[in-house]
Amino acid sequence: MTSELTRSVSVYHRRKDGALELYDRKTTDLILDAAARGEASVSSTKLLGRPVFDLQTMKQRNWCSNEEEDIVIEISWSPESLKAAEAFSGKPSTRRKILEMAILRITEEKTLTKVLDLKGVPSRSIRPNSYLGRGHVPFNNFVSSLENDILAKEVYDAVLQLASDPTDSAVSLLQTQCLYFLFHGTNHNVIDNILKTGLLPSFRQGGRMQDWFGVHYTTSLDYTRSRNQMPTGGHSGCKLLLFMVLRPCISSSSVATSSCSGNQLPLAELTLL
């Protein structure tokens, strides 16, 4: 385990002035071995401005003295190093934090751009859901759904793979674990509310027991045009919502439904240009 970590970590000592001082590789190995033996406790955090997963505030005796010091362990982003970090910490809460970070990484505009290119969505602007994060009810519920799914381990691995490298194979792997990128058309004036609260069952129309999504963007585009009284000849100015949905019922090649709001996460607003 520590050999896996050694290939992907840097270990720092936080000086009294707040600066981080890099340990040499030999000392790094000693620190990792001590932590793996349970001789040090760790908690997770995120260093401002560093695109990494961090295990921080590990109290350990200074190797050259009897003084205790703060040690920061910085782990570069990849599925392998993150899973090694999870094993290293040995805390169930760390797995959830890693999953949260992976989902938030997927919702970044640069990742969504690659995903939408793969799904054949034409020129568009992307407004990522700024409400996402801890404390956002749809986000918390969605992460819990992933954790409690019958294929939780496989879903977890697929999410990390996509967060690390958003390729066509990564998207396909996600779908084999019943996690899909889907589109939703609605009135433009309620989009922000949906980004904030998700698709609430109380707003389902006509006694429906599920929410409807388009597997392909054109399916939701037709509905959006009709709801917003837009001409059928073009798509410029049409807005769609992009969701991640766990275990939808895909009734045809173009339509999917989901009855569980906790399995749905609104990722972004798309405006076709």
Total number of domains in the chain: 2
SS3 203: helix
The whole-number average pLDDT for the span 216-233 is 76
Name the residue range of residue 186's domain: 97-272
Domain stop point among 90, 108, 142: 90
Rounded to whole angstroms, the Cα distance separating 158 from 164 reads 10
Kindly state the percentage of the chain with pLDDT values over 70: 63
pLDDT (0 to 100) of residue 14: 60
Residue 113 pLDDT > 70, yes or no?
Answer: yes
Domain stop point among 64, 90, 116: 90
User: Domain containing 170 — which CATH number?
Assistant: 3.90.228
Reported as a single tens digit per residue, the pLDDT across 92-102 is 666 787 788 88
- The residue among 176, 195, 177 whose CA lies nearest residue 266 is 195
Residue 58 pLDDT > 50, yes or no?
Answer: no
Rounded to whole angstroms, the Cα distance separating 128 from 182 reads 15
Q: Choose between 20 and 165: higher pLDDT.
A: 165
Residue 53 pLDDT > 50, yes or no?
Answer: no
Domain stop point among 38, 66, 90: 90
- The residue among 162, 170, 174, 198 whose CA lies nearest residue 247 is 174
Q: Choose between 51 and 248: higher pLDDT.
A: 248
Rounded to whole angstroms, the Cα distance separating 152 from 233 reads 43
E-state strands within 216-263? 239-246, 249-250, 255-258
Please tell me whether residues 67 and 128 are part of one structural domain: no
| Run of H or E residues at 187 | none
Region of 108 (left: φ > 0; alpha: ψ -120 to 50; beta: rest) is beta
Please tell me whether residues 83 and 104 are part of one structural domain: no
Q: Which long-range contacts (CB under 8 A, 24 or more apart) does 161-170 make?
A: 161/79, 162/102, 162/106, 162/111, 163/77, 163/79, 163/101, 163/102, 163/103, 163/105, 163/106, 163/111, 164/77, 164/78, 164/79, 166/106, 166/111, 166/114, 166/115, 166/118, 167/114, 167/118, 168/118
Where residue 20 falls among pLDDT bands split at 50, 70, 90? Answer: low
Please tell me whether residues 220 and 246 are part of one structural domain: yes
Residue 52 pLDDT > 50, yes or no?
Answer: no
- The residue among 160, 10, 29, 1 whose CA lies nearest residue 88 is 1
Residue 80 pLDDT > 80, yes or no?
Answer: no
Please tell me whether residues 118 and 191 are part of one structural domain: yes
pLDDT (0 to 100) of residue 45: 43
